[in-house]
Amino acid sequence: MSEAPSGDQITSVDELSDVQPSDWAFKALQSLIERYACIAGYNSNFRGNRAITRYEFAAGLNTCFNNIIQFMSSATDGSVKTKELTTLKKLQEEFGTELAILQEQVDTLQAHTAGLESQQFSTTTKLQGQVIMSVNAGGFDGKRITDSNGRELADTNPNPTVIYRAGVDLNTSFHGTDLLKIRVETGSGGALDNAAGVLEPNFGSSLDYSVKPPVDRDMVIGRLYYTFRPSSDFIVSIGPDIRATDYLDRNSYANRSFLDFSTQPFVNNFILFPVSGPASGGAVDWKPGQGAFALRAVYAVADAANPGNTGRITGASSFSRLLYPNSPGGERGLFGDSYQGTMEIEYSPTKNFALRLQYSGGEVFSNRFDVVGANFELTLGTQFGIFGRYGYSRFDNTVFGDIEPNYWMAGVSLRDLFQEGAILGVAVGQPFIDSNIGDATQTSLEAFYNYPLSQNIRITPSVQVITNAGNQDSNGDIVTSTLRTVFSF
């Protein structure tokens, strides 16, 4: 290889308008090309039969340098000699100005290309659907079942039932990073189409996918909102038909009633969402720098489309109606009754652990409430997980007085048992602990085994046991079983 002469033996390369075949730089790069074939696409420029411009030379030098670096990363025998690396460094110094201009042009071209790609995105709508079909049966010990106020609910076991819920999502994106969701869905008989919903209607024992609107075969809009990203780590959702539970209190093991647990105390923190049904409002999700912390917030109002103070307030939870059975509610609208604002901070340093701390406050049926909660999950190994939730709250002016109910649940989950993709889950909890309501504390237990028949079909047998239903010591144990089949497409 030709070496760069020292001192004043030749004119510096940066003083030449073109690079001549006789220049040391030309010969040095030509030697590198012959040894490493590092710029095969430029061979015609470096055959030595003509001069080339400094920018042609810089382009060739840049390509050769990048390919040699790539070659070095895979070579283990020291094939690239120190002398050749010194020559490359000298060439980069001599052509520093041209290399900088070349990089600037590449950056500009990439920016223009990205701009064209974003402008050429066409509006896209994707269709997603889900059908849930279940068979449910159950009964109780003793002569009768009473509610939290002592009123008789049943003196015979409910008949077995067939339950369904079907929905179709239209997911539309206008520029690739946003989402307009329109969900059309229908369902069967609501809280009264399953045994636990008949026998214990107030503390979340009904199947979650049954009790939530729509019910009674009505075909309605189930979600309507728009989501966009002001930045890569900040998400905003707004809409006239949202659910606070879609954005907060998530848990990898206990959160989706079509996949894991079916009853409300195990799907979400039961007392954190006095407004748990259809609502208008917005949500934000901020994960700074995609790091370990995330901050989320939701504002949800149950009757935003009503400018007055008449009519039934929809969207309130089952226990809210127990606490305020005769309240008509106050002024409605976007900032009226009933509403809640909820915040959550999540710490998840690894994919195997997450801790979420929560606060929810607002008014339900014109009465103040405040709730704090916690939610955690821990994965041990690749298949086993433990999880739990806790809540403490205050509700003013209920029919039971000013009360401060607690809530907790805990469970375990095992993945891939007997079949890849299968899920086994067991959880126990007490949805509403308050000595002012009843003379005991209800305890709920649920166990399920979710078995995938195919990528799109899952079948799940589950068992539910309830003791001291409705916080009444006189109530015998309630036992129900459900066979759930879910079709996703």
Helix (H), strand (E), coil (C) string for 376-444: EEEEECCCEEEEEEEEEEEEEEECCEEECCEEEEEEEEEECCCCCCCEEEEEEEEEEECCCCCCCCCEE
Query: 394 and 477, same structural domain?
Result: yes
For 428-473, write each residue's pLDDT tens digit: 999 999 999 999 999 999 999 999 999 999 999 999 999 999 999 9
Query: 90 and 167, same structural domain?
Result: no
Query: 160 and 87, same structural domain?
Result: no
- Please, are residues 317 and 304 in contact by the beta-carbon 8 Å criterion? no
Calpha distance 146→467 (Å, rounded): 13
The answer to whether position 164 is within a domain reads yes
Which of 84, 117, 150 is the last residue before a domain boundary? 117
Query: 131 and 199, same structural domain?
Result: yes
The answer to whether position 5 is within a domain reads no
Question: Looking at 22-31, 65-74, 316-325, which range is the least confident one?
Answer: 65-74
Beta strands, E only, 12-157 = 18-19, 52-53, 124-140, 145-146, 152-154
The answer to whether position 162 is within a domain reads yes
Torsion of CA 57, 63, 64, 69, to 10 degrees: 150
- Which pLDDT does position 9 carry in this prediction? 34
- Which pLDDT does position 444 carry in this prediction? 97
- Which pLDDT does position 2 carry in this prediction? 39
Mean per-residue pLDDT for 225-229?
96
- Which pLDDT does position 116 carry in this prediction? 60
- Which pLDDT does position 223 carry in this prediction? 95
Query: 131 and 111, same structural domain?
Result: no
Query: 150 and 74, same structural domain?
Result: no
Query: 161 and 73, same structural domain?
Result: no
Residue type, 285: D
Asked if the model's pLDDT at residue 43 lies above 60, the reply is: no
The answer to whether position 88 is within a domain reads yes
Query: 35 and 160, same structural domain?
Result: no
**What residues have CB less than 8 Å from 439, skipping those under 6 apart?**
471, 472, 473
Which of 117, 141, 168 is the last residue before a domain boundary? 117
Reading the block at residue 486, the tokens are 């879910």
Domain count, the chain: 2
Reading the block at residue 303, the tokens are 């009757």
Question: Looking at 27-31, 132-136, 339-343, 358-362, which range is the least confident one?
Answer: 27-31
**What residues have CB less than 8 Å from 212, skipping those under 6 apart?**
187, 277
For 111-120, write each residue's pLDDT tens digit: 776 666 656 6
For 346-360, write each residue's pLDDT tens digit: 999 999 999 999 999
Could you tell me how many residues make up the chain? 489
Which of 82, 117, 152 is the last residue before a domain boundary? 117
Mean per-residue pLDDT for 1-28?
57
Query: 208 and 85, same structural domain?
Result: no
The answer to whether position 146 is within a domain reads yes
- Which pLDDT does position 30 carry in this prediction? 81
Question: Looking at 47-56, 115-124, 362-371, which range is the least confident one?
Answer: 115-124
Is 0.75 topped by the overall pTM?
no
Share above pLDDT 90 across residues of the chain, in percent, rounded to a whole number: 57
Q: Where residue 165 sits, what CATH number does that domain have?
A: 2.40.160.10
The answer to whether position 3 is within a domain reads no
Range from 275-284, 316-325, 340-349 that averages highest in pLDDT: 340-349
Query: 385 and 368, same structural domain?
Result: yes
Calpha distance 224→280 (Å, rounded): 9
Query: 229 and 130, same structural domain?
Result: yes
- Which pLDDT does position 45 carry in this prediction? 64
Q: Comparing C-alpha atoms, which of 72, 402, 430, 130 is closest to residue 257?
A: 130
The answer to whether position 72 is within a domain reads yes
Mean per-residue pLDDT for 248-273?
94
Task: Look at 145 and 326; give whichever has higher pLDDT.
Answer: 145
Query: 176 and 29, same structural domain?
Result: no
- Residue 65 structural domain: 13-117
The answer to whether position 6 is within a domain reads no
**What residues have CB less than 8 Å from 231, skipping those under 6 apart?**
none
Mean per-residue pLDDT for 379-395?
95
